């Protein structure tokens, strides 16, 4: 079938003649000869027309893979055609969060770029295929044709197409349904199996508005993220890969995982949750990281637990705890357990991050979380790898106000003053505060929940005091044990020295006596 775009640019009189020939062509030229006729027709149009046509097919040359350029063009044209085209097509795409509107088949839409007019046509080619059982089936192949005057050839090919593909990709990213990826074990990597990552739609409701933390710190993080996401040109200018590392540390239940979801929602990113313990070795880790897409958060939670990344620090710790036989045994037991699961090493992880930083383009944020920041090797968290260190702390008054607003929809209460004082005296995680504030039945109102929090804070204070006393007692006992051990060692040393002195004296006396005799 002749494409509509091919005849664009012919004058009015030729169109009338063309209609006549077209009717004749359809009536008299047999199907099997049309291929030849069309071939020479296109050649002829090429000689007389001053227009250039470029074809973009839906599937790549190999025929199996969807063309990314086609999808980007479709996205780009959807933004133009919803306003201008008369016939649209609504597609429900697996990867898109809403309906995608695009130009219907055989529609055309005009676009203007730097004062130059171009026209896009959407075409479909139907081919009949005969199956082995004699049944015929039709196969539809879609493509876009871009038509423009040949005097703009250079500008269109060099600048306009780049603009269309970039814009279309950005629209696609904005409309896509975001995913939460988890890594598969290497046995599942083969093409006919699951691939390196499995995914589910990402719908976590956490946002920066619902995140309870110091508002000044929160604003700082938001500004940092905005600056990063808009910084493509800046990063290119300073010669740095467009990546950023975040280290989130703090006690359990202070909102580290919640913060990750809030960041992903804020920036509209996918999340790659990397479970290091299922990664067999360093090379597998590198492959996994390189197989992540742009606009994504790569998360390694509880990095201190995932691997034995403490390196030399462990040796030092062992020296310190030499007298604490039980603890040492425990450390050894844990590290042996990890070795069995994964052979990823600290240097392997560092190399993978640096490889990721340098090898692939596009904006990416890598996030580590840990409960014990001083357990981590400084090389892992140095600036340049982990650029932003964020401490998630116990719930203070400002954070409490956010939780009270979220959970109870109140902004003030008579007991706020008392709660502020108590939160300063007690370490309670936002997770615990949130759980205490949450109404447990329809009868429970804000007043009941706030009073429950005051009571819980009092109980926590008593508990913390008792715990501190016990710790103090344990420390005193440990110090006394250490002191006793040191005294015994000193005593033993003195005794040995005395013995030595005595021995030399006796030897001296004997030799003196021998000398006299
Ligand atoms: N800062 C916070 N703001 C709002 N909600 C929070 C905050 N911290 C904790 N929560 C609530 O507590 C729950 C547990 O928090 P989260 O999983 O984020 O803690 P975490 O710091 O990742 O803990 P862990 O170290 O144990 O992984 C969350 O589902 C959330 O409802
Ligand atoms: Mg967590």
Strand-pair category, 296-300 with 197-201: unpaired
Q: In what order do the strands lie in the sheet with 296-300?
A: 197-201, 179-183, 270-273, 296-300, 364-370, 243-249, 388-391
| pLDDT for res 393 | 94
Does 431 contact ligand 1 (Cβ within 6 A)? Answer: yes
Does 6 contact ligand 1 (Cβ within 6 A)? Answer: no
- Rounded to the nearest whole angstrom, what is the distance from the C-alpha of residue 457 to the centroid of ligand 2? 23
Domain ranges for the chain, please list them.
50-130+137-175, 180-307+342-391, 397-478
Ligand 1, atom 12, residue with closest C-alpha:
431
Neighbouring C-alpha atoms within 13 Å toward the C-beta of 423: 20
What is the Cα 117 distance to its own chain's centre? 40
| pLDDT for res 83 | 60
Top mutation candidate among 211, 213, 255, 434 for ligand 1, by most atoms within 8 Å of CB: 255
Ligand 1, atom 17, residue with closest C-alpha:
257
Tell me the whole-structure pTM to 2 decimals: 0.71
Does 309 contact ligand 1 (Cβ within 6 A)? Answer: no
CATH class, domain 180-307+342-391, is alpha beta
Does 218 contact ligand 1 (Cβ within 6 A)? Answer: no
Ligand 1, atom 8, residue with closest C-alpha:
255
pLDDT-flagged residues of the chain (< 70): 1-15, 18, 42, 45-48, 61-65, 81-86, 91-100, 129-138, 190-194, 308-341, 359-361, 508-517
Does 390 contact ligand 1 (Cβ within 6 A)? Answer: no
- Rounded to the nearest whole angstrom, what is the distance from the C-alpha of residue 1 to the centroid of ligand 1? 61
Helix 346-359, helix 282-290: angle, nearest 10: 30
Report, in angstroms and rounded to the nearest whole number, the Rg of the chain calculated over CA atoms.
Answer: 36
Residues near ligand 2 ion, CB 5 Å cutoff? 256-257
| pLDDT for res 202 | 92
Ligand 1, atom 7, residue with closest C-alpha:
255
Interval 459-512: pLDDT, tens: 999 998 999 999 999 999 999 999 999 999 999 999 888 888 877 777 766 666
Q: What is the dihedral of CA 214, 217, 223, 226, to 10 degrees?
A: -80
């Amino acid at each position: 079938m002749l494409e509509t775009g091919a005849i664009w640019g012919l004058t009015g009189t030729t169109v009338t003649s063309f209609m006549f020939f077209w009717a004749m062509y359809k009536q008299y030229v047999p199907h099997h000869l049309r291929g030849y006729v069309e071939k020479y027709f296109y050649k002829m149009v090429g000689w007389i027309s001053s227009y250039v046509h470029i074809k973009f097919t839906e599937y790549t040359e190999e025929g199996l893979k969807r063309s990314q350029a086609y999808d980007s063009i479709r996205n780009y044209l959807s933004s133009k055609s919803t306003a201008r085209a008369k016939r649209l097509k609504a597609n429900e795409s697996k990867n898109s969060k809403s309906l995608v509107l695009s130009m219907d088949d055989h529609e055309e839409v005009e676009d203007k770029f730097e004062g130059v007019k171009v026209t896009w046509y959407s075409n479909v080619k139907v081919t009949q295929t005969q199956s082995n059982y004699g049944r015929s089936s039709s196969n539809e192949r879609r493509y876009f044709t871009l038509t423009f005057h040949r005097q703009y050839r250079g500008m269109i090919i060099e600048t306009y197409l780049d603009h269309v593909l970039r814009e279309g990709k950005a629209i696609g990213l904005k409309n896509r349904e975001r995913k939460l990826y988890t890594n598969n074990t290497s046995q599942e990597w083969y093409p006919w199996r699951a691939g390196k990552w499995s995914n589910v739609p990402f719908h976590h409701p956490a946002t920066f508005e619902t995140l309870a933390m110091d508002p000044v710190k929160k604003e700082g993080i938001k500004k940092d993220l905005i600056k990063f996401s808009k910084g493509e040109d800046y990063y290119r200018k300073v010669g740095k890969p467009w990546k950023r590392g975040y280290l989130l540390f703090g006690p359990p239940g202070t909102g580290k995982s919640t913060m990750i979801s809030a960041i992903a929602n804020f920036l509209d990113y996918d999340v790659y949750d990397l479970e290091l313990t299922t990664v067999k070795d360093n090379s597998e880790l590198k492959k996994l990281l390189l197989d992540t897409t742009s606009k994504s958060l790569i998360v390694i939670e509880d990095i201190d637990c995932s691997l034995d990344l403490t390196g030399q620090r462990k040796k030092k710790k062992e020296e310190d705890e030499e007298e604490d036989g039980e603890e040492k045994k425990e450390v050894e037991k844990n590290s042996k357990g990890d070795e069995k699961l994964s052979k990823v090493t600290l240097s392997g992880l560092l190399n993978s991050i640096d490889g990721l930083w340098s090898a692939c383009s596009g904006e990416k944020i890598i996030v580590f979380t840990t409960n014990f920041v001083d357990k981590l090797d400084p090389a892992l968290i140095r600036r340049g790898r982990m650029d932003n260190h964020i401490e998630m702390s116990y719930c203070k008054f400002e954070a409490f106000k956010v939780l009270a607003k979220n959970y109870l929809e109140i902004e003030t209460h008579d007991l706020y003053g008392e709660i502020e004082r108590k939160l300063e005296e007690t370490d309670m995680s936002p997770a615990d505060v949130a759980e205490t504030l949450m109404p447990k039945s329809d009868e429970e109102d804000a007043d009941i929940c706030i009073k429950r929090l005051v009571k819980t804070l009092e109980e926590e204070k008593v508990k913390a005091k008792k715990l501190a006393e016990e710790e103090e007692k344990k420390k005193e006992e440990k110090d006394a044990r250490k002191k006793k051990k040191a005294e015994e060692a000193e005593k033993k040393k003195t005794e040995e020295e005395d013995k030595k002195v005595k021995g030399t004296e006796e030897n001296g006396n004997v030799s003196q006596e021998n000398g006299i005799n």
